[in-house]
Amino acid sequence: MKKLGLVIVLLCLSMAVSAGGFMFKHLEVKDGLSSNRVNDIFKDSEGFMWFATASGLNRYDGCQMKVYRSHNLDLGPLPDNCVQKVQEDGKKRLWIRTAAGYTIYDSKTESFNRDVHALLWEAGIDGIPALTYIDKNKNMWFYIASKGCYLYIPESQLLYPLLFDAGQLPEGEITDISECSDGVLLVYNTGMIVCLNRDTNKINWDLKEISKELGNNKYETFSFFVDKENDIWIYSPSGLWIYNPAEKKWQKKLRDLINRQSRSAVLSVAQDLQGRIWIGREHDGVNILNKSTGEIKTLMHQPDDERSLQDNTVSALYEDPNGMMWLGTWKKGISYYHESIFKFSLDYVGDVTAVEEDKNGDLWIGTNNDGLIHWKINTGEPQLFVREVSDANSLSSDAVSCLLRTRDGKLWIGTLGGGLDCYDNGRFTHYKNMVKNSKSLTDNNIVALAEDKSGIVWIGTSGGGLQSLNPRTGEFNTYNTTTSDLAFNTVSSLYITRDNSLMIGTSRGLSVMDLSTKKIISLTGTKSGKTRFSNQNINQVYEDSRGLIWIATREGLNIYNPKIDELTILAEKNGLSNLLTVGIVEDDNSNMWITSAKGLTHIIPMLDSKTGMYDFRCNIYDERDGLQSSGFNQRSVKKLSSGEIVIGGVYGINRFFSDKIKYNEVLPNVFFTHFLLFNKEVEVGEVYGDKVILDKALNFVDQVELDYKQNMFCVQFASDNYIIPEKVEYAYKLEGFGDEWITTKTGEAVYTNLFPGTYLLRVKAINSDGFSGNEEASLKIVVTPPFWLSTWACILYVILFVGIMLLMCSKMCGGKRKSGQSEEQSEIGEDESDEESEELEQPGSYKPEEKVTSEEESGAVLLAHDESISSEVVDEVVSKAVEEEEVVEIKTIESVLEEKKEIDTVSTIKTQRARVIQLIEDENSDEYTTYIVPEDELPEVIITAGSKKVDGIIPPAISEMIGTKKAVSHSGNDESVDEKLLGAAMKYVESNISRSDLSVEELSRELGMSRVNLYKRLVAMTGKTPIEFIRVIRLKHAAKLLRETRMNISEVAYQVGFNNPKYFTKYFKEEFGMLPSVYQEKEKQEQGE
């Protein structure tokens, strides 16, 4: 009985709260609020929310809470930490009233000015205001105690005093100022109300009825609220009064109606976009009045409902321009409401495993271990059925797994461990497995039920296969893997199609039975075998109104079109909330709703009439939209006859009408919030380096200028749309750096190592339901160059270059004059050289011992170089020789053209092969020449030079290159040269993985070869250029970090040497076929399994 009472109480409470339709989100101290006692709420023109609390002023941007508090009341920004009221003037300054007076916050400079007296003195007002009111025209009204009021018009700088001693106002203490269509309203602590004409500033009318009602000697703090219908609401601890100035009468009936609801003190009044009046009470929650119908709803805190009002004392009410209603409470912080925040109601009724509806529209709810609940829709009365051991007419098991209402009105109840029950007119009939009775249930664990056209009940068991039961005869028929072609004996889902087929989901695929012949075929994908199901473990199978077969599996959603034998598989990358899909239902608009382990996916199928193929648009909802947090149960989803969809999960049931979901259509605007340099926030007016970066708040500046060393910064931004701010997405791009829009949910853009230049950061927001804002926020960012790259430096470089060129031209002209004298001798020398060249080209013009074979006889290749030949030529020759395991001889010859000249060997590399490559230096030649002699002769490379400076430069360089190649070639007996070279390259890149400045030149130097040769070798070995080779190693290391660490995408990108996460994301997708975030999530899921 204790269990019964508890469940009924919880059910009644949850149903009552959900029926109200008002569900709140909350902000408390744990969310950054400085105090849970909230006195006032205000939204400024920039989009920030301001919360006045008993312990400081709070600024909120949807993500971060910034607290202003004075630790020293004499020097701090606030004269007192108890903040009572916030207003904004026409200069975007906030007038903040505290318990010790006013202070002014300048949004542009993010600074406070406590010297309000001096500011008013400049306007001609002598005194400190007890009250300040800023009207809709941004004119300012000041009440100075014992003096009267002043009207100050900032635009014209005109001041109008309305003084007590001049008889312009009745004497007394004014407690609030407001305005209505008739003029400006003043209320005194006696309850007297005065209305001033806007044009003449004279009294239009006054009201003394409240004073008479309360007595002339009673003094209280009265407050105003003027609604959209121009009714004036006056409230104080003693009561509430409503006056209609158009009809010049008090609304006594309306007042009595409200007072019948509660007699507690009214602390605040506001009106929402729908015209409803919200009345904040002391200890009695909030009354919501529909003025047109007179209906009043009272919302109070419900201990068992986290979406209810947090506290029953509502001290502040404020409706922002986007229609959000904010409620400040006395002890529990802030509750806020908008009809688009929670799209789904939640009834806390335990772990719900099955939902069914009877012919009366009543709801039957099966729970995991709390029995069966019958909830009567009309009365809201719940009834609980549980297993009673001593009562045969009770539920056979409290663990209900599935429900089925048949056409005859009976309710069939599948249980885990208790078999099958049938409930009819208050009586239970039990069906259980009976040992040695083949005509009984094959298994007491029932997981799926269905009824065919003839009234036969089909039963899916967990291990006993498929059974049919004739309710009229009680006869069972069994279909399992032995007696039929059933795919597997563990049946998870049953569905009867329009063509009289029974679809049977099992843990090893889909079986389909023709109910007329009882023949079963099993499918693992399309009939043609072209495409397999994403997973054979099926959680639910469902046929929609189009004839599409929807199959929920452990690894995604499968949609089969039997008309064209086509299978579409949806996963998270296609917009699915989670791969583990557990439930399917179709709404009245033929759209699909898919439940999963992480939320709900709304799928809109769209047919291409030309191809006959469907496209599927997905929208995801999760606990931020009002769904329960721990996911949903298998097959626990039902569309009721009313069109309402009910989904069962661990904490209860979510309910919604798909066509009544209120979407967030408020277009978001973006504003900049913080600028961080090297992960530290830049404060307004502070000096960084030798200059001030922000002279005004970030949202008020057009440009930020940085020097070239300040190359790591972050710009943070937010949206003025506070409807589920955690689901707001942002798109940004930095023009001058990249042309692609980058999406983020973090509300920040981070950049490092930007080159000097001018950039434009553009940001736009997409709200929680996918609506994009029309306006962008933009910020120019200038990175100044170092002095050696400045404009003046470049001009100097040009001047120097021109001067050097002129000097060189002058010297060259002088050289030409000197060379004219030796032209004749040069011509003779050239003729002799030509003759010698011709001699070399003729067969037999040289001796065999010279080891030079003519091109005509042997096909030798002649390559000519001037004296500036680089080591790349030699490097290539040596590398080729080592690669082909040739013997290399390097010799020096005084002159290759002189017959029988001795050749000195400089260096030789010997291998197992007989071929030899010789590098020969001719010291008497003006050119370098390379000769390669064919394999049948002694192969040689002959480098000729007439200058002795080659001797001692080229040969030692060759020796060094040969030594490097030889070391690489013979460093291991078990590895090839290519493998060793590749290993050395990979090792060096990995050891320098985080360096963004690692270059191909550096790698080639480390490996002892030229850049050209490294390019050829890497392309030959890996098919990738050196740049691609380095990038692939970085990406593979990044994949490892994504798998094995909790680093975010940006951190991983910087860790592996990418300067910009955008380019890292691009190349990662090219290498692995998916975004880094998708790869990381996939790896987490696999590791979790």
- Single out the residue in 756, 789, 822 at which a domain terminates: 789
**Mean pLDDT for all residues in the chain:** 85
How many residues appear in the chain? 1089
Model confidence at 876: pLDDT above 80: no
Are both 620 and 682 inside the same structural domain? no
SS (H, E, C) 760-776: EEEEEEECCCCCECCCC
Question: Cα–Cα distance between 83 and 115 in angstroms, integer?
Answer: 17
Please, which pLDDT band fits residue 72 given cuts at 50, 70 and 90?
confident
Question: Cα–Cα distance between 214 and 191 in angstroms, integer?
Answer: 8
Judged by phi (left if over 0) then psi (alpha if -120 to 50, else beta), residue 1023 lies in: left
Question: Sheet holding 566-570: strands in order across?
Answer: 538-543, 549-553, 556-561, 566-570
Question: Cα–Cα distance between 337 and 334 in angstroms, integer?
Answer: 10
In a domain, 952, yes or no: yes
Residue 1045 confidence (pLDDT): 86
Model confidence at 123: pLDDT above 60: yes
Question: Cα–Cα distance between 267 and 287 in angstroms, integer?
Answer: 12
The CB density around residue 794, as the number of other CB atoms within 10 Å, is 12
In a domain, 963, yes or no: yes
Question: Cα–Cα distance between 1076 and 1065 in angstroms, integer?
Answer: 6
Are both 536 and 649 inside the same structural domain? yes
List, in order, residues 6 or more apart from 745 with CB less than 8 Å away: 726, 727, 728, 729, 730
Average confidence (pLDDT) over 1032-1055: 88
Lowest-confidence pick of 39-48, 100-109, 819-828, 973-982: 819-828
Contact in structure between 645 and 658 (CB atoms under 8 Å): yes
Are both 554 and 680 inside the same structural domain? no
Dihedral of the alpha carbons of 865, 869, 874, 880, in degrees to the nearest 10: -50
Are both 920 and 950 inside the same structural domain? yes
Going by C-alpha positions, the residue among 552, 441, 463 that lies closest to residue 503 is 552
Are both 1003 and 1055 inside the same structural domain? yes
Determine whether 583 is exposed, middle or buried from the number of CB atoms within 10 Å of its CB (0-12, 13-18, 19+): buried
List, in order, residues 6 or more apart from 501 with CB less than 8 Å away: 512, 513, 514, 515
Question: Sheet holding 158-163: strands in order across?
Answer: 131-134, 140-144, 148-153, 158-163
Report pLDDT digits (tens) over 402-455: 999 999 999 999 999 999 999 999 999 999 999 888 889 999 999 999 999 999
Are both 635 and 681 inside the same structural domain? no
Residue 815 confidence (pLDDT): 62
Model confidence at 866: pLDDT above 50: no
Residue 880 confidence (pLDDT): 52
> Which parts of 216-271 fold into alpha helices (H)?
252-261
Report pLDDT digits (tens) over 44-67: 999 999 999 999 999 999 999 999
Are both 946 and 1038 inside the same structural domain? no
Give the SS3 label for residue 894: coil
Block residue for tokens 């709260």:
17
Question: Cα–Cα distance between 661 and 645 in angstroms, integer?
Answer: 12
Contact in structure between 721 and 765 (CB atoms under 8 Å): yes
Give this prediction's pTM: 0.71
- 601 token code pair: 């996916």
Question: Which amino acid appears at position 821 of this protein?
Answer: Q
Are both 928 and 1040 inside the same structural domain? no
Going by C-alpha positions, the residue among 242, 239, 289 that lies closest to residue 264 is 239
Question: Cα–Cα distance between 705 and 677 in angstroms, integer?
Answer: 12
Question: Cα–Cα distance between 344 and 625 in angstroms, integer?
Answer: 7
Report pLDDT digits (tens) over 989-1030: 888 988 888 888 888 888 888 888 888 888 888 888 998 989
Beta strands in 340-415 (DSSP E): 345-347, 352-357, 363-367, 372-375, 382-385, 400-405, 411-415
- 299 token code pair: 């919302």
Contact in structure between 87 and 74 (CB atoms under 8 Å): no
Q: How many helices (H) and strands (E) does the chain have?
A: 16, 73
Average confidence (pLDDT) over 524-541: 96
Report pLDDT digits (tens) over 907-946: 333 333 334 444 444 444 444 444 444 433 333 444 444 3
- 670 token code pair: 């973006």
The CB density around residue 755, as the number of other CB atoms within 10 Å, is 12
Question: Cα–Cα distance between 966 and 84 in angstroms, integer?
Answer: 84
In a domain, 915, yes or no: yes
Lowest-confidence pick of 347-361, 653-667, 846-860, 862-876: 846-860
Average confidence (pLDDT) over 320-337: 97
Question: Sheet holding 93-98: strands in order across?
Answer: 83-88, 93-98, 101-106, 111-113
Are both 738 and 651 inside the same structural domain? no
Name the β-bridge partners of 783.
706, 757
Please, which pLDDT band fits residue 208 given cuts at 50, 70 and 90?
very high
- Total number of domains constituting the chain: 5
Report pLDDT digits (tens) over 161-186: 999 999 999 999 999 999 999 999 99
> Which parts of 178-280 fold into alpha helices (H)?
209-214, 252-261
Please, which pLDDT band fits residue 18 given cuts at 50, 70 and 90?
very low
Model confidence at 630: pLDDT above 80: no
Are both 652 and 547 inside the same structural domain? yes
Question: Cα–Cα distance between 492 and 486 in angstroms, integer?
Answer: 13
Question: Which amino acid appears at position 425 of this protein?
Answer: N
In a domain, 934, yes or no: yes
Beta strands in 767-821 (DSSP E): 777-784
Give the SS3 label for residue 1069: helix
Lowest-confidence pick of 132-141, 175-184, 1037-1046: 1037-1046
In a domain, 287, yes or no: yes
Running DSSP on this structure, what letter comes out for residue 839?
H
Model confidence at 646: pLDDT above 50: yes
Give the SS3 label for residue 663: coil
At 653, which CATH number? 2.130.10.10
Average confidence (pLDDT) over 676-687: 93
Model confidence at 262: pLDDT above 50: yes
Query: Phi, psi (5° rounding) for residue 503?
Result: -90, 130
Beta strands in 809-962 (DSSP E): 861-865, 887-893, 903-909, 916-922, 928-932, 941-944
Are both 601 and 703 inside the same structural domain? no
Contact in structure between 959 and 1008 (CB atoms under 8 Å): no
Radius of gyration of the chain (CA): 43
Are both 648 and 745 inside the same structural domain? no
- Residue 1070, H or E segment: helix 1061-1072
In a domain, 804, yes or no: no
Domain that holds residue 918: 862-969
Name the β-bridge partners of 95.
87, 104
Report pLDDT digits (tens) over 802-841: 989 888 888 887 665 555 544 444 443 444 343 333 333 3
At 764, which CATH number? 2.60.40.10
Q: 1062 or 755: which carries more pLDDT confidence? A: 755
Average confidence (pLDDT) over 296-300: 96
List, in order, residues 6 or more apart from 297 with CB less than 8 Å away: 20, 22, 287, 288
Question: Sheet holding 501-506: strands in order across?
Answer: 491-496, 501-506, 509-514, 519-523
Residue 810 confidence (pLDDT): 81
Question: Cα–Cα distance between 55 and 142 in angstroms, integer?
Answer: 25
Question: Cα–Cα distance between 252 and 257 in angstroms, integer?
Answer: 9
**What sign does the CA torsion over 572, 574, 580, 585 have?**
positive
Please, which pLDDT band fits residue 891 given cuts at 50, 70 and 90?
very low
Report pLDDT digits (tens) over 501-520: 999 999 999 999 999 999 99
- 73 token code pair: 């009341």
Query: Phi, psi (5° rounding) for residue 449?
Result: -135, 150
**% of the chain beyond a pLDDT of 70:** 83
Give the SS3 label for residue 1019: helix
Question: Cα–Cα distance between 116 and 129 in angstroms, integer?
Answer: 8
Report pLDDT digits (tens) over 838-863: 333 333 333 333 333 333 333 333 33
Question: Cα–Cα distance between 630 and 647 in angstroms, integer?
Answer: 13
Q: Give CA angle at 423 (422, 424), nearest 5°.
A: 120
Please, which pLDDT band fits residue 217 given cuts at 50, 70 and 90?
confident
Query: Phi, psi (5° rounding) for residue 1061?
Result: -60, -25
In a domain, 540, yes or no: yes
Residue 120 confidence (pLDDT): 95
Question: Which amino acid appears at position 854 of this protein?
Answer: S
- Single out the residue in 969, 992, 1026 at which a domain terminates: 969
Question: Cα–Cα distance between 309 and 302 in angstroms, integer?
Answer: 7
Lowest-confidence pick of 78-92, 302-316, 1006-1020: 1006-1020
Contact in structure between 257 and 269 (CB atoms under 8 Å): no
Question: Cα–Cα distance between 777 and 720 in angstroms, integer?
Answer: 12
Question: Cα–Cα distance between 961 and 655 in angstroms, integer?
Answer: 78
Contact in structure between 1021 and 1013 (CB atoms under 8 Å): no
Residue 1084 confidence (pLDDT): 80
Residue-wise burial string across 605-619, b where 16 or more C-beta atoms lie within 10 A, e elsewhere: beeeeeeeeeebebb
Model confidence at 898: pLDDT above 80: no
Name the β-bridge partners of 449.
459
Name the β-bridge partners of 374.
364, 383
Average confidence (pLDDT) over 559-564: 95
Q: Pairing state of beta strands 887-893 and 916-922?
A: parallel
Please, which pLDDT band fits residue 982 given cuts at 50, 70 and 90?
confident
Please, which pLDDT band fits residue 1046 given cuts at 50, 70 and 90?
confident
In a domain, 854, yes or no: no
- Single out the residue in 909, 938, 969 at which a domain terminates: 969
Name the β-bridge partners of 367.
352
